[in-house]
Structure 1
Amino acid sequence: MPIDAFDALACPLDGEALHRHDNAWVCPQGHSYDQARQGYTHLLPVQHKRSKEPGDSKAMVEARQRFLAAGHYQPVVELIARLCCPNPLPETTFNILDAGCGEGYYLREFSLLVPESMRVAMAGLDISKPATLAAAKQDKRPTWLVASNAHLPVQDASLDRLLCIFGFPVASEFARVLKPEGRLIQVDPGPMHLHELRTLLYQQVETELEPKAPDLDGFRLVEEDEVSYRFHLTRADDIQDLLMMTPHGHRASAEGRARVAQLSELELTAEVFVRVYEPLVG
C-alpha cells in the first residue's frame, strides 16, 4: 500500500501551518523545527513538558518492541484495522494520526493490512523521545513527531482517522483536528486484560463486569467491538518485557515484582475494547 508522509502540521507555539523547507518545518512567524537525522521532528516546546524527559523510558520502549514484535497483540491490530478502514475506499489520500504511537508498531502493522489500492498519509506522535526515535528508525515513511496529545501540532480538520491506542484522549484537541466526517478510534483495556499478571502484582484486583464506553465531549459513539483471547508466555524474559512495558512495572510493590520475577511461563488473558467515535458537528 502506498504510504505518504503527513504534512498538515501546525506550529506548537502559535498554531500556524508549518511548511517544509529542506530538513526543517517553518511557520509564517519564523518558528523553525529541524528534522533529526534519524527521521523524526521535535514539536514539544519546553513549556508543554511536565518533566525533563516525559513519557516512556528507553528501557520501556525496548521492552515493548520485543513483546509486540512477537505478535502477542496481533488480534488487536486486526480489529483496529477493520474498524479504521473506510467503506467504500476513498479516492483521495486518507490522513491517519496515531496519537501516542509508542515505537510505531500499530501504524506499521496497519500499513500491512489495509487494501493495496488505498493511499494513506500517516503520522505518529508520542511525548517520549525514545519511543519516537525507535519508530523513525524502523519505518521512514510516516511523519514521526515528539509531541503531546494535549497540544497536537496538527492543522484543524485535517484528519480522516485519529488512533488513540491504550493512550490518553484529549477530546477538545481530537475534535479540533478531525474532519467533520472523520473518526476517532479509541482503544482501551477491558477489565480482564492481563488479569493474571495483575493478580500476582497486587493484593487486590478489582474488575468491572460491565464496563461502559467513556463519554468524550464533542463526540458520539457509533461503533464498539471487543477482542478477547488467551496467550501464553514461555520465557521469563518475555514476562519481564510485558511487565516493563506497562505502568505496572513501576506501580507495583517490590514484593509483587519479585513474585513475577520467579516465573518462567505465564498464561494470560487479553481483553481489549475498540470504540469508534464521530465528532459532533455544530
Structure 2
Amino acid sequence: MELIEIKSLKVTFPTEAGPVRAVDCVDLQLGVREKLGLIGETGSGKSVLTHAILRLLQPDALCEGEILYQGRNLLGLAPTEMRRLRGRELALIPQNRALNPLQTVGKQLLETLRQAGYSKKEAAAKMPELLRSVGAIDPDSWTKAYPHECSGGMCERIVIALSLAFSPSLLLADEPTKGLDSLNRARIITLLGAVTRNQALLFITHDLEAAAMLCTRLALMYAGELVELGDKDTVFENPLHPYTRGLLFALPARGMQPILGRSPPLTALPDGCRFHSRCPGAMARCRRQHPPLFDTGNRHFCRCWLYV
C-alpha cells in the first residue's frame, strides 16, 4: 500500500536569470513503513522535493503535478488542512538542526508536546520518555541545557525527538548526518532505524553509505530529475546510470574517484541527457534527446539511452 504517491511533480522558482526548474517531472512512491533513500549532490532537488511534500516552499514557487498522501492531493489542500497534517502525520527533521538558541531544550520540547495535545503536566511527564527514546541517559540534564551547550550529535537527537512528538506516519529526514563525525553518524543512523520501525522514512542524503545502512530502496536525483530507482542491493550490486556509478566510485572503499565536471545550471538545462557533459560513455544521441526513465526489470529504473 502506498502512503505517498508523487505524480509528475514540477517545482519552478522565478529568478532574474530565468525560471529555476528545481524538480522536473518526478514520479515516486513510498509505501507504509518503507525506508527510501533520496540521494544526490547538492542542488539536485532533494530538499526542494521534501519541502514540496510538506508545502513549505517559498510563496512564489510554482508546484505542478500531484502529491497524494493516503489518496489526498496535498497540493490541493487548504492551508489550515495542511497545518493539521504537518508535524502530526508528516514530520520533518530539518537539515540545519533548527533549535531556538534562546530557549532550553526542555522548554522547546514542552511547547511541541503541548501542541500535540498534551496538558502541561502530561507533557512534563512525557519529556523524559521522549528523550530516552533518542538515547538520552540523563534526560533531566538535557532539558536544562541550551542548544549551544549540546554537541552536534545531541542537537540532532533533540530535533528527532521533537519530530516524533506527534507519532507521524512519515518522517522526512533532510541530511540528518551532515557535519557529524563517524561515531555520531553511525549512532544517528541506528537511532533512525529504531524509531521508524512502524513509520515510513524518506531519508534525504548525499551519503550513499548511510542510505545503504538504513534504507531498503534508493532513488538517485540529478539536475532536478530521477535518474535511477531500485532496491538497495540491486543498485549497489548493479548500478546502471553513469551518475550512480560515479557516486559509488567516489566512496573511499571504492577508490575515491571524483565525478569530473559540474552539474548544469537549473536555469539553462542542456538538451539531451542532463549528465552527458560529465559522462565518459556519452553518445551522439545523449546530446540530442532527453531519455525517459526506462524500466529495466525487477523494479529497477534508469534514465539512460543504454537501456532503451
Compare the two structures and name the one with the higher strand fraction: 1
TM-score using structure 2 length: 0.28
TM-score using structure 1 length: 0.29
The structure with the larger Rg is: 2
